[in-house]
């Protein structure tokens, strides 16, 4: 092998040895690139590719589980059926599960009866659009932002696992975001990538409570993690399977290095 060939081989090996991101996509490697690392910046998306975050319709709610593993297992089983289900804490030591986002009460009732007939769920309750904080509001401003922060904080300490059959979109962290937004009446998309596309760009210096912050395994690489801003450069996130939801700082060396942009969904 010539010196030139040896140098090229060394470059390929160096590019392949990209660090693994210890977040909700632990074990998912960033896309390697032979180009020099770019400054931390989220990939640019044309305005026409962004979709608005809509108001939540009717949702099926089941259970009052004293054991979080029971809520997690039910969520897993429902997501394995292709449903959008998530669990959340409600009151001291209790967890509930919500399923889907239906345009009408009739559609929600029909699905709930089907799932009950299959013994997939037991007793259920239909959550109406008017049960959410956003109902009747023409603008989505500061009051809703504070509710998003309070909801996110209620998950701190919970061993949160999104579940489902697909693990390549960071569903633990994006599942937490989906849960927090849907509990407040906003139908956030399911996947990390779609959540990013649904928002409007916001600079780090103009972050507000309720905005989402995104991270990449390497500068300029694929998005791998998301958290919810709760003010003062703090954000709440689900670090990954087997880890508890916690609050971290954007000012920490690790998250400052991996920060890859932010999005807002409110007025």
Whole-model pTM: value is: 0.78
Closest CA to 23 of 185, 263, 258, 267: 258
Sequential pLDDT tens for the chain (267 residues): 544 444 444 433 333 333 334 345 443 333 333 333 333 343 433 333 344 678 899 999 999 999 988 998 999 899 888 888 999 998 888 999 999 999 999 999 999 999 999 999 999 999 999 999 877 676 667 888 999 999 999 999 988 876 544 444 456 899 899 999 999 999 988 888 999 999 999 999 999 999 999 999 987 789 999 999 999 999 999 987 778 999 999 999 999 999 999 999 987
Distance CA 134, CA 210 (A): 14
Instruction: For the chain, give every domain's residue range.
Output: 47-264
93 vs 248: CA distance, rounded Å: 24
**H and E: helices and strands count for the chain:** 7, 12
With CA atoms as reference, report the closest residue to 240 among 67, 72, 95, 27.
27
- Which is nearest to 98 in space by CA: 133, 137, 65? 65
- Tokens linked to 260: 């890859």
Query: Does 3.30.420.40 match the CATH number of domain 47-264?
Result: no
């Amino acid at each position: 092998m010539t010196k030139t060939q040896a140098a090229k081989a060394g470059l390929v090996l160096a590019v392949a040895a990209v660090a693994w991101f210890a977040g909700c996509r632990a074990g998912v490697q960033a896309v390697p690139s032979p180009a020099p690392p770019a400054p931390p910046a989220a990939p640019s998306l044309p305005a026409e590719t962004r979709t608005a975050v809509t108001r939540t319709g009717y949702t099926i709610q089941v259970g009052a589980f004293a054991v979080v593993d029971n809520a997690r297992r039910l969520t897993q089983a429902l997501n394995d059926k292709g449903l959008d289900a998530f669990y959340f804490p409600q009151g001291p030591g209790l967890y509930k599960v919500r399923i889907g986002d239906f345009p009408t009460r009739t559609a929600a009732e029909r699905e709930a009866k089907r799932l009950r007939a299959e013994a997939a769920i037991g007793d259920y309750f239909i959550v109406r659009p008017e049960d959410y904080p956003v109902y009747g509001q023409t603008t989505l401003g500061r009051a809703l932002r504070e509710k998003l922060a309070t909801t996110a904080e209620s998950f701190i300490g919970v061993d949160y696992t999104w579940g489902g059959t697909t693990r390549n979109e960071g569903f633990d962290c994006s599942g937490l975001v989906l849960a927090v937004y849907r509990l407040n009446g906003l139908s956030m998309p399911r996947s990390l990538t779609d959540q990013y596309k649904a928002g409007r760009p916001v600079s780090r210096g103009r972050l507000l409570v309720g905005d989402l912050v995104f991270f990449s395994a390497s500068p300029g690489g694929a998005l791998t993690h998301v958290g919810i801003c709760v003010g003062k450069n703090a954000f709440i996130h689900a670090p990954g399977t087997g880890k508890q939801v916690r609050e971290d700082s954007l000012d920490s060396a690790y998250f400052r290095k991996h920060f890859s942009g932010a999005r807002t969904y409110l007025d």
